[in-house]
Amino acid sequence: MTKINWPALKQAAKQATLQAYAPYSHFPVGVAVLASSGKIYIGCNVESASYGATVCAERNAIAAAVVAGEREFKALLVYTPQTDLTPPCGICRQVIAEFFLPSTPVASCNHLEQQQTWTLAELLPAAFTPKHLDNSEKIGVIKA
């Protein structure tokens, strides 16, 4: 089991928060992901005047890692300068499940430096993952 440097992830996620583009919600979010290579990648939320086009910090951090060639991850940490601890939204949980094992830790940290950690399986039980497509029997559509 790789030792996870949570303070380094926290620092990176906090730094990412400073770049958040959140003129509508005023809710900045920063995320750091630890790839299996040992490298840390960051993302912030990027909002849009067409609100539904907003992309969360989690998905931007994962995208930054994927474009760098990463496909496997050891941990994810969300930082929000709030008192409440922010867990990843439902869409982000699905994207996390694309690349992370169910046992991978997903943490949230607030401005009081408190941290809560879940496994991905706790956040998204019975996840639909790439293995369901691999195992599909390609039965196709039965026409009436």
Q: Residues binding ligand THU: what is the number (CB under 6 A)?
A: 15
Rg for the chain, CA atoms, rounded: 16
- Tell me whether residue 45 or residue 104 sits nearer to ligand THU (CB atom): 45
Contact between 48 and ligand THU by CB under 6 A: the answer reads no
What the block records as the tokens of 8 is 């380094």
Which residues are identified as catalytic? 58
Q: Minimum distance from CB of 31 to ligand THU (Å)?
A: 7
Place of tokens 């196709």: 140
What is the pairing mode between strands 73-79 and 105-109? parallel
Using rule CB under 6 A, residue 57 touches ligand THU: yes
- Among 47, 70, 77, 96, the residue binding ligand THU under the rule CB under 6 A is 47
Contact between 29 and ligand THU by CB under 6 A: the answer reads yes
How far out from the chain centre does Cα 77 lie? 7
- Rounded to whole angstroms, the Cα distance separating 71 from 77 reads 17
Is residue 61 involved in binding ligand THU (CB under 6 A)?
no
CB-neighbour burial class of residue 93 (10 A; exposed 0-12, middle 13-18, buried 19+): middle
Residue 30: CB minimum distance to ligand THU, A:
9
Rounded Cα–Cα distance for residues 122 and 59 (Å): 19
| Residue 70 in the binding site for ligand THU (CB under 6 A) | no
Lookup result for tokens 């709030």: 82
The binding track of 114-133 with respect to ligand THU, each residue x by CB under 6 A or -, is --------------------
Binding site for ligand THU (CB under 6 A): 22, 25, 27, 29, 45, 47, 54, 56-58, 78, 86, 88-89, 92
